[in-house]
Amino acid sequence: MELNQHKYDFKNLLISVLAWEGFFWLLYFSLFFYLKEDEESFQFENPEWLWFLFIVPLIVLGYLNVIKWKNNKLSLLADERLLKYLTSPVSNLKSFFKFFLFRNGLAFLILAMANPQFGQGKNKAIHEGIEIMIALDISNSMRALDLDTKMDRLQIAKLSIERLLNNLHGDKVGVVIFAGDAFVQVPLTNDYRAARMFLSSVRPEMMSNQGTDIGLAIDKCMKSFDMENGVNKAIIVMSDGEDHEGSAETVAKGAFEHNIIVSTVGMGTAKETPIPDYREGKVQGFKKDDEGNTVLTKLNAEMLQSVAAAGGGAYVQAEGTYVNLEGLLESIREIEKTEMESVLYVDFQDQFQWFLGFGLLFLIIDFFLTERRSGIVHKLQEYNG
């Protein structure tokens, strides 16, 4: 046992670290989903900071690799019988405790930056508005650079949606992404900030079934509405119009018959252009068909205009990096707005100070704590051994 006091017990440290990581992530996700689903008065002011928690697994890997590296270096330094004369004894318990303090101190600081908040009171608010579902085409053809040499159709569409959100007041908004399939990315909400956050992560790789089925996207939007709440509804389709199924007009007409306005936004130009081929996040030439020919794409404005006409809405077309939504917004504003009741939590109080305090305390203790065996910790480790 005495010889081992100068090297780290990697096996026990690995078990301890993995046990704590399992407990931490189970607790984190349990609390996160409970508060998100059941506690309407809870929110994170800066939820984007929560993504930095995934740095923690890298810290775990780094710690375990450092322990292995130290043991290897000690083995190369001298025979185990001589290590006690050349090095100081180390404490596995204190090593794990230092890791615990640093890892959790950093996690608490990240949570502090996200700033959890609890609402202290709630009011019922009556406001006028409509419900708007945005169907965003994320098929491969939306990678084309015909509108701008530096921004593809999808990037420009996402920017135009952000501008649309900035011009809406009191309306509920949701987002459906589609290609050959369709699913709801953002359910109907009046939290425009959350909609922007989810929108920023949208990319064509999210859809394994490629192609373009605008009819399916409109149908998915319709199913996202509560048709019994009496609130007026609108759908905005943003696409290059290269529909491969041909049911869009029929579905749009059906939506209009249920008093849902369907408008369209044309993303692209009438000039044929190749589609960049992305592999591992980098452009590797252009898309080619099975015969080796370069795949070309162009805007099908006529098809999108027909869909808008069938849906009782308006059609607008992107010009460069800008989408002129004035006519589209005007047609949406002409819809008679319906009074909607919602519960608003007010007087949100910041809770970041608790996490900031514990985070700094943990890091300070970690700074002054060494891994050398000494005192009570030394005796405890000998007893456990």
Q: What is the pLDDT of residues 297-345, one digit of tens each?
A: 999 999 999 999 999 998 999 988 888 766 677 777 676 555 555 544 4
The per-residue pLDDT for 376 is 56
Confidence band, pLDDT 50/70/90 cuts, at residue 197 = confident
Highest mean pLDDT among 26-30, 131-135, 189-193: 131-135
pTM: 0.57
The per-residue pLDDT for 169 is 76
Largest Cα–Cα distance in the chain? 88
Q: What is the pLDDT of residues 217-272, one digit of tens each?
A: 999 999 999 888 878 899 999 999 987 777 899 999 999 999 899 999 999 999 99
128 vs 352, residue with greater confidence = 352
121 vs 286, residue with greater confidence = 286
Rama region for 203: left / alpha / beta (φ>0; ψ in -120 to 50; rest): beta
283 vs 142, residue with greater confidence = 142
**Could you tell me if 308 and 266 are in contact, meaning their C-beta atoms sit under 8 angstroms apart?**
no
Q: What is the mean pLDDT of residues 161-178?
A: 86
As a whole number of angstroms, the distance between CA 264 and CA 271 comes to 19
The per-residue pLDDT for 369 is 85
Q: Is 298 exposed, middle or buried (0-12, 13-18, 19+ CB in 10 A)?
A: middle
Mean of pLDDT over the chain = 83
In angstroms, what is the C-alpha Rg of the chain? 29
Decide if pLDDT at 7 tops 50. yes
Q: Which residues contact 347 (CB under 8 A, 6 or more apart)?
A: 119, 120, 121
Give the DSSP H/E element, type plus range, for residue 110: helix 92-114
Confidence band, pLDDT 50/70/90 cuts, at residue 102 = very high
The per-residue pLDDT for 45 is 80
91 vs 189, residue with greater confidence = 189
The per-residue pLDDT for 194 is 85
Decide if pLDDT at 2 tops 60. no
As a whole number of angstroms, the distance between CA 22 and CA 207 comes to 31
The per-residue pLDDT for 198 is 87
Decide if pLDDT at 80 tops 80. no
175 vs 378, residue with greater confidence = 175
As a whole number of angstroms, the distance between CA 79 and CA 89 comes to 15
275 vs 130, residue with greater confidence = 275
Q: Strand 131-137 and strand 172-178: pairing?
A: parallel
The per-residue pLDDT for 350 is 82
Where b means 16+ CB within 10 Å and e means fewer, 140-160 reads: bbbbbbbbeeeebbbbbbbeb
The per-residue pLDDT for 385 is 46
**Could you tell me if 135 and 235 are in contact, meaning their C-beta atoms sit under 8 angstroms apart?**
yes
The DSSP bridge partners found for residue 123 are 344
Q: What is the CATH number assigned to the segment(s) 126-342? A: 3.40.50.410
Decide if pLDDT at 277 tops 90. no
Distances in Å between the alpha carbon of 102 and those of 63, 113, 254, 353, 365?
10, 17, 59, 18, 9
Where b means 16+ CB within 10 Å and e means fewer, 255-285 reads: bbeeebbbbbbbbbbeeebbbbbeeeeeeee
Q: What is the mean pLDDT of residues 35-50?
A: 73
42 vs 316, residue with greater confidence = 316
The per-residue pLDDT for 81 is 65
Confidence band, pLDDT 50/70/90 cuts, at residue 371 = confident
**Could you tell me if 255 and 225 are in contact, meaning their C-beta atoms sit under 8 angstroms apart?**
no
